[in-house]
Amino acid sequence: MSDSGTITLTDATFETEVLESKIPVLVDFWAQGCGGCRQIAPVLELLASEYLSRAKVGKLDAILNSQTAIRYQVRRLPTLLLFKGGAVVAQSVGVIGMADLHKMLSQHI
């Protein structure tokens, strides 16, 4: 876990950190060179700090961890998937703002 509260996810850690999590997990599928991914990154760091004990915010490099990206049919970046109880309960593709992220998470906390 980084200082901001976001966690780095990989194909190897995805099941434990996300699917088996007792709290909701917002997963940011991103990649180097993705402008939208760079744009949303600071917003996700703030969100992770705000929801620190109620939800996790994880970042998964979709290029380096293609097995998970393919499994969840991630075709555009950034893609945000919200998991609860091991299932996807909400999703968003593209850059969204803090208000929309709060709405997305608050429905599942």
Question: Which of these, 4, 1, 33, 71, lies nearest to 81 by C-alpha position?
Answer: 71
- Report residue 11 CA to chain centroid gap: 14
Helices (H), the chain: 14, 35-50, 66-71, 98-106
Active site residues: 34, 37
Residues 6+ apart with CB under 8 A from 81: 26, 27, 29, 72, 74, 88, 90, 91
Question: Which of these, 17, 32, 30, lies nearest to 62 by C-alpha position?
Answer: 30
